[in-house]
Amino acid sequence: MTINVIIAGFKGRMGSTAVEMVKQDQELQVAALLDPFAEEKEADGIPVFTNKESMQGISADVWVDFTTPQVAYENTRFAIENGFAPVVGTTGFTQEQITELSALSAEKNIGGLIAPNFAIGAILLMEFAAKASKYFPDLEIIELHHDKKKDAPSGTAVKTAELINQVRQPKKQGAADESETLAGARGAEFAGFRIHSVRLPGLVAHQEVIFGAAGEGLTLRHDSYDRSSFMSGVNLGIKEVVKRNQLVYGLEHLL
Ligand code: NAP
């Protein structure tokens, strides 16, 4: 059975890569495309829409979303309410929004996925970091992305921090009397440890978790050198959500 897929944000860096991935998989088909600034009415025979409301009633199974943090929540709500199982890569969701969307999906009996990172190596890094934090409670997260990224810290860094926080003994790091002579020098605080966001041209998506203990250190690092690194995860997400009946947060729940 062919899975029909809507792609929201199809003109963006991730959205356009997702269109190519879907086109190359014979089990998948692009049903429609959405971007508010698209001028064309169709692309390669696929209908193009500029607002989601006019997509009601389209025959599609899955809504892939790589848009912006400002619209992704409303898009995901819309997808669930209209029977499209969401596969969302857009970052910047709050915990409350994820809980609410998960409850809505259960009510509507529809599967879904919000994944701050679709790269398998990044999922492993998060898992390894959480495990290490049990033994190395002193750590800092450094996430590095291209300079067009709109939100900071990255969704991956937040998810990593949340997973670490479930395992790590609560602790405020650094000297009790430390102070910043330049605001922000110590990064953002999350449960007593710090997250630093680097934005530079040339980068794609990278993350380090650095651990320190008496006389030793441990560094975990993942690099996405190319957006193709996310596509096997998006493909898996599309094929899994159609079999499920509730939205989950994190690709690891579908692996
Ligand atoms: P991007 O190149 O800026 O693409 C976003 C696209 O969405 C743009 O073409 C934008 O159009 C469009 N858009 C804006 N509002 C929209 C709306 N209401 N409906 C439909 N489309 C809309 O950004 P990107 O690098 O592809 O990243 C997109 C998102 O994916 C970001 O949140 C990023 O953090 C995330 N991301 C996730 C993963 C993951 O593995 N989960 C990996 C990489 C990136 P205009 O430019 O014309 O406004």
Query: What would be the CATH architecture of the domain defined by 3-114+228-254?
Result: 3-Layer(aba) Sandwich (3.40)
pLDDT reported for residue 255: 86
Q: Which residue among 10, 11, 20, 203 is best mutated to probe the pocket of ligand 1, counting the most ligand atoms within 8 A of its Cβ?
A: 11
Fold of 120-224: Dihydrodipicolinate Reductase; domain 2 (3.30.360)
Kindly give, in sequence order, each residue whose CB lies less than 8 Å from that of residue 45, ignoring residues fewer than 6 positions away: none
Q: Is 109 within any annotated ligand binding site?
A: no
Q: Which amino acid is at 230?
A: F
Distance 90 CA to ligand 1 centre (A): 6
Cβ of 71 below 6 Å from ligand 1: yes
Cβ of 199 below 6 Å from ligand 1: no
Domain ranges (residues) in the chain: 3-114+228-254, 120-224
Q: Is 146 within any annotated ligand binding site?
A: yes
Residue by residue, pLDDT tens for the chain (255 residues) are 899 999 999 999 999 999 999 999 999 999 999 999 999 999 999 999 999 999 998 999 999 999 999 999 999 999 999 999 999 999 999 999 999 999 999 999 999 999 999 999 999 999 999 999 999 999 999 999 999 999 999 999 999 999 999 999 999 999 999 999 999 999 999 999 999 999 999 999 999 999 999 999 999 999 999 999 999 999 999 999 999 999 999 999 998
Q: Is 99 within any annotated ligand binding site?
A: no
Cβ of 15 below 6 Å from ligand 1: yes
The ligand 1 atom at the shortest distance from the C-alpha of residue 8 is 20
Q: Is 10 within any annotated ligand binding site?
A: yes
Q: Which residue among 10, 34, 35, 207 is best mutated to probe the pocket of ligand 1, counting the most ligand atoms within 8 A of its Cβ?
A: 35
Distance 65 CA to ligand 1 centre (A): 8
Distance 240 CA to ligand 1 centre (A): 22
